[in-house]
Structure 1
Amino acid sequence: MAMRLANDEITLALSPSVTVTLRPSLRAAFRLNEKYDGFQALFLAIREGNLTAITDLIDATRIGHRYREPSIAELLAPEVKDRLLAFIPVLCGADDNKTDAEPQSGEPRTFEEEFTDLYKVATGWLKWPPSVAWSASIAEIVNARDGYLELMALRNGKRDDTETIDATKGMPADLRKEINAIGRGKR
């Protein structure tokens, strides 16, 4: 399975002289989810042309600190709104290339729970410093976690390349379900 990584960032041309690059970091996802009580509210606000929501998304995800403030007309341009709306699923970790998604069983998890677990994986399992964990995209953390699980499976006696890797085998069911759910947000 190929996961979105290289195209996580987008560049918006707000005018001929103003471009801004947006990165879907874990910190931005966590903060925007908290501020808007979920991504659906953020999506709807941007779709309706809410300037606060548009600038919140740009400010939370923008790379670099200096740029000329765009005009209202630039922010409300249909192509800008469309690109921002398409960016929201990337921000919350959706993988449109994933075709083998397992149906989620049990209680649905909130984005806040998912993001907290991803932060724990990044800083705990992967031993990334907090600044790296917060600036990484969800796709990067999930892909790194999967690589870590594959490494652990290899270290623990994976027999051949055709064997299915299940690094959670033998763990208590609750912990196994929690680990396997990381990266799948409530949608």
Structure 2
Amino acid sequence: MRLGADSIFVELAGEAFELRPSLRACMRLVRRHQLNGLLSAVQDFNFTVIADVFGEAGIKPSLLQREIAATGLGVVRNRLTGPLSEFALAVAGIDPYDAKPAPATPGESLSPSEMHTRLFEIATGWLGWTPEEAWNATPAEIIASKNGRTDLITDILKAVFGSSDQAAQAVPQYTEALLDQIERDGRDPAFDRAGLRALKGKERAL
């Protein structure tokens, strides 16, 4: 999912309310309704499940009931199906407006519930966030933060040890000609003799 994508809003009683797919909301809704049940409820406009979605997003479900009574079920359904569908897809970690497909993840595939658990572990373990910070973040925010930290550590390791290409270039290529030379001279030119002498000097000083 894109980081910083437009927030999902619904209009009720003349006001705009944000449907935020926090990790807490995602995990609770999937646990109670399963992802397929959540998607079906949005398409069928199941009042009970949609009211539950609103409740997890901090929106009073009674506002939905009042809106239906005031403007009619058909009007409310037409207005809310779009943002509710976006929310349900966000729970599954899908951005319908992202033309670039997500890269395939090697290894065993995870169910939505397992994915949310893994994201919580990443946020509280790998990133060092508090549980409350992890619960309030969206899956996209956790994934982007994890990727950023991984890139930072990779850059530090490259700065200290060099890139894998540089390391490969530092290792001599033992061709037949070089092996013949080592056999004639009785020594390997790649061996760090200065480092060995320094190490022995430190041992004598102890």
Aligned to 2:7: 9
Structure 2 Cα separation of the partners of residues 145 and 98 of structure 1: 22
Which residue does the alignment assign to 2:43? 47
Query: Aligned ranges for residues 108-147 of structure 1 at < 5 Å?
Result: 108-147=109-148
Question: Is the 1:118–1:138 Cα contact (8 Å) retained in structure 2?
Answer: yes
Q: What residue in structure 1 maps to residue 24 of structure 2? A: 27
Structure with the bigger RCO (C-alpha within 8 Å, sep 6+) is 1
Q: TM-score, normalised by structure 2?
A: 0.66
How big is the shift at 1:4?
1.7
Larger CA deviation: 84-93 vs 7-16? 7-16
- For 2:109, the aligned partner's letter is P
Distance of aligned partners of 1:49 and 1:95 in 2 relative to their CA distance in 1, 3 Å threshold: closer
CA apart distance, 1:92: 2.5
1:68-92 alpha-carbon deviations (Å, 9 max, x no partner): 6232626743111222012211233
**Paired residues, what number?**
155
Greater per-residue helix proportion? 2
TM-score, structure 1 normalization: 0.72
Unaligned runs of 5+ in 1: 164-187
Distance 2:113 2:126 in 1: 19
Alignment of 1:46-125 (within 5 A): 46-62=42-58, 69-70=63-64, 71=66, 73=68, 76-96=76-96, 97=98, 99=100, 101-104=102-105, 106-125=107-126
- Contact 1:9–1:21 under 8 Å retained in 2: yes
Larger gyration radius, structure 1 or structure 2: 2
- Aligned-pair CA distance for 1:45: 1.3
How far does residue 67 in structure 1 lie from its aligned partner after superposition? 8.4
